[in-house]
């Protein structure tokens, strides 16, 4: 029998669905915009708090910033020179006045000058930021690919695959960056001599090992989360319904389970980006690669206060932006969040 | 048309034939049998209903017909044929060709059987994508046709919506649309109306009847004899993996031969007067308890018996929608619950029943109006003032498991509910727990069990025992039997009735099931969209409903149209 006999066919379905689509997406847009507005206000508050904490924390660190201004702790400057330097840099002022001046400059985007390099901090960081971001973004993408592959393979396989997948994930999630980096250097640079041990030179070869060092622990972590939600999706009533329509297992995991698996991982990616940048401190040091992380380490050692503060504020800003982006991505990927 | 099944089979050849079907779970050597050799067949345009309680093997049987029994199932059958074609040796690939094309399957849980991340149009189009070569555009127009055919309004908008944006009834219609997309010869519907309101339930049954009239063979799986009676031509009653009775619907419902069928029919509360036992006597209050309770009750009598124990006046509650607009959940609701009586509140989901229950319990503050308990202020008190009085009013919920701490054993759950638990010695506490267990007809040995290791009926009895522990005047029962099988439901309703008479308890009984409410209530309140549409003596409201909405609700409730069999057994 045919269905037309039961009910008349709608005359022009395509035209109607077009108009309803646009109203739905415009209301979706306003809700996203309202959310973004609230989040931007919150972000400004977080930045202020981070900048303040970092400012006062740096005062608590033992040692005199004048040493950094005069070329390091071992300088032979006379007491007059030191006093003059203090005065010139406003270090004699009461601390609250210094804080006020710092905040005032920060609002206008001025991060001050580096004590050691005698360059604006913005420029110092600007030169290094690109390197670190390339590293972190490539590591995040690699971690996603590894985690998805592992989750798809082990969720569909039998008990052995589940066991192996689980073991791989737990082990790689638990490996520390400095150890993994050293191991990769030993295997691929020293023994096999396939890849360079340092990452200073341009080109993709120097990036492979640092990216893997950052990506593997993260992949283990994301993989665990993905496989868990993928298994839940594959055993849920809607998956059984889909099988009852004749769907194959491969198609089921790609069309249904993959999105369910990706959702929690999208939410975690904001956090992951933050952890990648802190991981970069170690990895950039191990692979002698220029970047924010190595700059931070060096500046802390010589008490280059403006640079340290700049890095802290910059990393906080990146963290906020990435979290915001991952929240928005989550809402775009999950219709249930938009409805609520 | 698109269906590959257009060749009509000869009239007398059944669509599906099952002979001596045995299903077991486990390995080949150590398998636990679930289904012990059952036979049935269904012809085109006929409906067979398999009726049974949970664990009877009915859903497993249905799943076996589409080869989705489960990974470690061992299946044997003398015959398992779809239009003369043997299904027993089907490969995975062969099964995938059958599923969705020759056999449509509507899964039990309508509310969660659609992928919440995909538009329903895509879900329905899946059947067409898998089994036909239609272009995406042709699939879309076919899906629109299907949505209209299953009675989904505004198909052009609905096709882009996801299950979260649809009501339960619309989700079930969408699932049926997906199952009939290729006009399969056999449609299996597993508990198609269980999660749905009465009026929606009726619409789904009509829709299935339409398919049957169009020549589809229908296999209906249900625990609800009243639902089955409307649609089925034949009924097979299943218990513990065996079909104990099978025959034409009128015969099975009107003149049941097997003792189990008779018991099932007797357990249906609809149209049975108040106080009629629904289950064979047995698990009630023990004789020792009768004496104890009588003695205790005499000294604990409180308050004036003529004052209603629970009075609500002009209750109003407004919530906010996510977009900030106000949503009125309850407005202008008043009722009075007399001592020793049951006041039933009926309504469909979203009618505000549960909000009323929360306000009666003092868990949600009304925006306007007030609740008085035992003639004294209640909803206007601060929580600190209310706490000492809480022992007078307790509650039982639909899902007892969710209301128990899974780490606590039965003894701890019950002793925690005793108002003077702290001041009792260990052995006194244990005596109290055992007394409570006996009161609800449970064995004292259950005291060390964790809630997860109890059956559904036992859990609800523990919930009742916990509600009794403080010695309450009023118990709020929010859908207390909705999740139970009909024979367990009968036992729990009998127990509640017996306890009411022994303890002079007053019940505020909330349910969407008209049959249950009719059986238990002295008076009822009918709610729709937060308002009371009708209230009065139960017998009057049911025999002579004054409001259009009540009439609609009553008409939609499935009931057994058979001679009463109460006297027979």
Residue pLDDT, tens place only, B63-74: 999 988 887 888
**Beta-carbon separation of B107 and A237 below 8 A:** yes
pLDDT band at residue A284, thresholds of 50, 70 and 90?
A: confident
Angle at A216 between CA A214 and CA A221, to 5 degrees: 105
Neighbours of A261 (CB within 10 A): 27
| Residues of chain B contacting residue A21, judged by C-beta atoms under 8 Å apart | 160
Residue A71 lies in a domain: no
C-alpha–C-alpha distance, residues B95 and B101, integer Å = 10
Q: Is A185 part of any domain? A: yes
In chain B, residues with a C-beta closer than 8 Å to the C-beta of A335 are 116-117, 162, 164-165
User: What mean pLDDT comes out for the span B186-190?
Assistant: 93
Q: Does A21 touch chain B (CB under 8 A)?
A: yes
What pLDDT is attached to residue A285? 84
Q: Is the pTM of this model over 0.80?
A: no
How far is the alpha carbon of A253 from chain B, nearest alpha carbon, in Å? 12
What is the DSSP secondary-structure string of B432-468? HHHHHHHHTT--GGGGG--GGGS-HHHHHHHHHHHHH
Q: With contacts defined as CB-CB under 8 Å, which chain A residues touch B214?
A: 1, 6
**Residue A287, domain member (yes or no):** yes
Residue A320: phi and psi, rounded to 5, are: -65, -45
Whether residue B225 has pLDDT greater than 80: yes
Question: What value does the mean pLDDT take over residues B335-364?
Answer: 90
B-facing residues of A in 289-308 (CB < 8 A) are none
B537 shares contact with chain A (CB less than 8 Å): no
The answer to whether residue B517 scores a pLDDT higher than 80 is yes
What pLDDT sits at residue B371? 93
> pLDDT exceeding 70 applies to what percent of chain A?
83
| Residue A177 touches partner B, C-beta closer than 8 Å | no
> Interface pTM (ipTM) of the complex?
0.74
Contacts with B258 (C-beta within 8 Å, 6 or more apart), sequence order = B237, B244, B245
Range of the domain at A278: 121-339
Q: Is the pLDDT of residue A10 over 80?
A: no
In sequence order, which residues have a C-beta less than 8 Å from that of residue B95 and are 6 or more positions away? B66, B67
Q: Can you give the pLDDT at residue B443? A: 84
- The pairs formed by B529-534 with CB atoms below 8 angstroms and a separation of 24 or more are B529/B350, B529/B351, B529/B352, B530/B328, B530/B329, B530/B330, B530/B331, B530/B333, B530/B351, B530/B352, B530/B355, B531/B331, B531/B332, B531/B333, B531/B352, B532/B332, B532/B333, B532/B334, B532/B335
| Tens of pLDDT, residues B371-402 | 999 888 998 888 889 988 888 899 998 888 88
Q: Is residue A73 part of a domain?
A: no
Residue of B nearest to A338 (CA): B322
DSSP of B548-562: HHHHHHHHHS----S
Residue predicted with more confidence, B519 or B558: B519
Nearest to A162 by CA among A216, A221, A224, A217: A224
Per-residue model confidence as pLDDT tens digits over B331-340 = 999 999 998 8
Of the candidates A20, A238, A251, which has its C-beta nearest B114's C-beta?
Answer: A238
Q: What percent of chain B has pLDDT over 90?
A: 34
Provide the H-helix boundaries in A249-304: 249-252, 258-286, 292-302
Give the pLDDT confidence of B14-67 residue by residue, as tens digits. 999 999 999 988 876 777 888 999 999 999 999 999 998 877 888 889 999 998
Q: What is the pLDDT of residues B111-166, one digit of tens each?
A: 788 998 889 999 999 999 999 999 999 999 999 999 988 888 888 888 988 888 88
Whether the CB-CB separation of B71 and A159 falls below 8 Å is answered with no
Average pLDDT in chain B: 85
Chain A / chain B CB contacts < 8 angstroms: 122
Total domains present in chain A: 1
Kindly report the CATH number assigned to the domain that includes residue A158. 1.10.3720.10
Q: Which of A238, A244, A259 sits opposite B99 (nearest CB)?
A: A244
Among B103, B156, B219, the strongest candidate for a mutation testing the A interface, having the largest count of A CBs within 10 A, is: B156
Local structure of residue A277 (DSSP, 8 states): H
Residue A248 with chain B: CB contacts under 8 Å: 96
Q: How confident is the model at residue B213 (pLDDT cuts 50, 70, 90)?
A: very high
* Average pLDDT estimate for B527-544: 90
Beta bridge partners of B189: B106, B220
Buried b (16+ CB within 10 A) or exposed e, A46-66: ebeebbeebbeebeeeeeebb
**A15 located within any domain:** no
What SS3 state is found at A42? helix
Q: How far apart are CA B490 and CA B46, in angstroms?
A: 31
Q: What percent of chain A has pLDDT above 90? A: 5
Q: Using CA coordinates, name the residue in chain A closest to B145.
A: A9
**Contact B99/A7, CB-based, under 8 Å?**
no
Residue with tokens 């689509």, as numbered in its chain: A21
Asked whether the beta carbons of residue A13 and residue B141 sit closer than 8 angstroms, the reply is yes
pLDDT at B201: 83
B239, B250 Cβ separation under 8 angstroms: no
pLDDT tier for residue A242 given thresholds of 50, 70 and 90: very high
- Residue A237, chain B, CB below 8 Å: the answer is yes
Q: Give the span between the Cα atoms of A126 and A140, in whole angstroms.
A: 21
Is residue A275 one of the residues assigned to a domain? yes
Contact assignment for A3 to B146 by CB distance below 8 Å? yes
A254 touches chain B (CB under 8 A): no
Domain contains A218? yes
pLDDT digit string (tens) for A126-173?
A: 888 888 888 899 999 999 999 988 888 877 667 787 888 888 888 888
Six-digit token string for B429: 């506490």
| CB distance A54 to A306 below 8 Å | no
Q: Which residues pair with B523 in a beta bridge?
A: B343, B537
Contact between B337 and B308 under an 8 Å Cβ cutoff? The reply is: yes
Tell me which residue of A268, A286, A274 sits closest to A327, measured CA to CA. Answer: A268
Q: Is A16 on the interface with B (CB under 8 A)?
A: yes
Interchain pair B68, A334: CB under 8 A: no
Kindly calculate the radius of gyration of chain B based on its CA atoms and give it in whole angstroms.
Answer: 26
* Distance, C-alpha B453 to centroid of its chain: 21
Half-sphere exposure of A273 (CA within 13 A, CB side): 21
C-alpha pair distances (Å), B334 with each of B361, B511, B520, B548: 15, 18, 20, 20
Q: Which residues of A touch B114 (CB under 8 A)?
A: 238, 241
| Dist. CA B241–CA B34, nearest whole Å | 6
B117: chain A residues, CB-CB within 8 Å = 256, 259-260, 263, 333-336
| Alpha helix ranges (H) inside B215-333 | 225-231, 249-254, 259-267, 287-300
Which of A41-45, A67-71, B316-320, B520-524 has the least mean pLDDT?
Answer: A67-71
| pLDDT attached to residue B532 | 92
Instruction: Please give the pLDDT value at position B565.
Output: 41
Which of B90, B126, B165, B206 should we substitute to test contact with A (largest number of A Cβ atoms within 10 Å)? Answer: B126
What pLDDT, on the 0 to 100 scale, is given for residue B285? 58
Residues B494-506 have pLDDT tens digits of 889 988 888 888 9
Does A183 fall in a domain?
yes
Rounded to whole angstroms, the Cα distance separating A143 from A153 reads: 15
**pLDDT tens, residue by residue, B255-303:** 999 999 988 888 888 777 777 777 765 555 555 555 555 555 554 555 5
Pairwise CA distance, residues B88 & B93, whole Å: 13
């Amino acid at each position: 029998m045919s269905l037309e006999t039961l009910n008349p066919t709608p005359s022009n379905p395509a035209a109607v669905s077009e108009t309803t689509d646009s109203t739905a997406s415009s209301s979706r847009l306003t809700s996203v915009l309202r959310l973004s507005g609230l989040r931007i206000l919150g972000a400004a508050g977080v930045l202020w708090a981070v900048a303040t904490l970092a400012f006062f924390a740096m005062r608590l660190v033992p040692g005199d910033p004048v040493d950094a201004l005069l070329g390091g702790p071992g300088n032979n400057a006379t007491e007059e020179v030191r006093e003059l330097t203090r005065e010139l840099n406003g270090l004699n002022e009461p601390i609250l006045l210094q804080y006020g001046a710092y905040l005032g400059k920060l609002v206008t985007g001025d991060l001050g000058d580096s004590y050691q390099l005698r360059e604006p901090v913005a420029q110092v960081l600007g030169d290094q930021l690109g390197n670190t971001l390339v590293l972190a973004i490539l590591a995040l993408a690699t971690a996603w690919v590894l985690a998805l592959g592992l989750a798809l393979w082990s969720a569909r396989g039998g008990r052995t695959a589940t066991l192996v997948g689980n073991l791989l994930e737990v082990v790689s999630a638990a490996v520390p960056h400095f150890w993994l980096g050293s191991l990769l250097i030993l295997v691929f640079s020293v023994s096999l001599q396939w890849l360079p041990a340092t990452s200073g030179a341009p080109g993709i070869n120097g990036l492979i090992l640092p990216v893997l060092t950052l990506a593997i622990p993260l992949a283990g972590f994301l993989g665990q989360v993905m496989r868990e939600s993928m298994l839940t999706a594959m055993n849920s009533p809607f998956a059984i319904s889909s099988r009852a329509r004749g769907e194959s297992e491969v198609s089921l995991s790609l069309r249904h389970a993959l999105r369910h698996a990706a959702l929690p991982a999208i939410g975690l990616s904001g956090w992951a980006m933050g952890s990648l940048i802190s991981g970069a401190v170690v990895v950039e040091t191990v692979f002698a690669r220029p970047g924010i992380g190595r700059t931070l380490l060096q500046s802390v050692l010589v008490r280059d206060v403006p640079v340290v503060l700049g890095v802290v504020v910059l990393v906080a800003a990146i963290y906020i932006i990435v979290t915001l982006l991952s929240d928005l991505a989550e809402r775009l990927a999950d219709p249930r969040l938009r409805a609520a | 048309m698109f269906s590959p099944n257009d060749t009509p089979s000869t009239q007398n050849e059944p669509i599906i034939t099952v002979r001596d079907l045995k299903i077991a779970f486990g390995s080949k050597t150590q398998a636990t049998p679930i289904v012990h050799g059952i036979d049935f067949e269904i012809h085109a345009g006929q409906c067979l209903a398999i009726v049974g309680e949970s664990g009877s093997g009915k859903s497993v049987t249905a799943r076996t017909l589409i080869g989705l029994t489960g990974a470690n199932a061992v299946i044997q059958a003398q015959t398992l044929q779809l239009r003369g074609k043997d299904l027993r040796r089907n490969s995975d690939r062969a099964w995938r060709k059958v599923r969705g094309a020759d056999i449509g399957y509507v899964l039990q849980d309508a509310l969660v059987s659609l992928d919440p991340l995909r538009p329903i149009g895509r879900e329905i189009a899946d059947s067409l994508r898998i089994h036909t070569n239609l272009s995406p555009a042709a699939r879309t127009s076919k899906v629109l046709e299907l949505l209209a055919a299953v009675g989904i309004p505004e198909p052009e908008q609905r096709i882009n919506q996801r299950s979260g944006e649809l009501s339960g009834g619309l989700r079930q219609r969408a699932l049926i649309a997906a199952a009939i997309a290729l006009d399969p010869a056999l449609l299996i519907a597993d508990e198609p109306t269980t999660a749905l309101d009465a009026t929606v339930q009726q619409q789904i049954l009509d829709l299935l009847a339409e398919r049957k009239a169009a020549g589809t063979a229908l296999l209906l799986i249900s625990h609800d004899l009243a639902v089955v009676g409307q649609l089925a031509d034949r009924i097979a009653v299943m218990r513990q993996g065996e079909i104990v009775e099978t025959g034409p619907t009128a015969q099975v419902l009107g003149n049941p031969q097997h003792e189990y069928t008779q018991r099932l029919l007797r357990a249906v509360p609809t149209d049975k007067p108040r106080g009629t036992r629904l289950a064979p006597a047995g698990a009630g209050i023990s004789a020792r308890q009768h004496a104890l309770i009588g003695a205790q009750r005499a000294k604990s009598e409180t308050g004036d018996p003529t004052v209603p124990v629970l009075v609500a006046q002009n209750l109003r509650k407004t919530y906010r929608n996510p977009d900030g607009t106000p949503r009125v959940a309850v407005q202008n609701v008043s009722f009075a619950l007399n001592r020793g009586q049951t006041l039933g509140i009926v309504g469909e989901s979203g009618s505000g029943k549960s909000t009323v229950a929360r306000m009666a319990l003092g868990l949600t503050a009304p925006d306007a109006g007030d609740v008085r308990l035992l003639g004294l202020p209640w909803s206007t008190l601060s929580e600190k003032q209310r706490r000492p009085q809480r022992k007078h009013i307790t509650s039982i919920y639909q899902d007892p498991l969710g209301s128990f701490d899974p780490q606590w054993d039965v003894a701890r759950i019950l002793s925690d509910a005793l108002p003077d638990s702290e001041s009792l010695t260990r052995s006194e506490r244990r005596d109290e727990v055992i007394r409570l267990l006996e009161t609800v007809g449970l064995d004292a040995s259950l005291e060390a069990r964790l809630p997860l290791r109890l059956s559904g009926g036992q859990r609800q009895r523990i919930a009742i025992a916990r509600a009794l522990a403080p010695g309450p005047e009023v118990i709020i029962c929010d859908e207390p039997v909705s999740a139970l099988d009909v024979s367990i439901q009968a036992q729990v309703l009998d127990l509640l009735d017996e306890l009411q008479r022994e303890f002079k308890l007053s019940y505020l009984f909330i349910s969407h099931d008209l049959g249950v409410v009719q059986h238990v209530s002295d008076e009822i309140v009918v709610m729709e969209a937060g308002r009371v549409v009708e209230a009065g003596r139960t017998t009057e409201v049911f025999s002579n409903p004054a409001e259009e909405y009540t009439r609609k609700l009553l008409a939609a409730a499935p009931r057994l149209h058979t001679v009463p069999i109460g006297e027979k057994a």
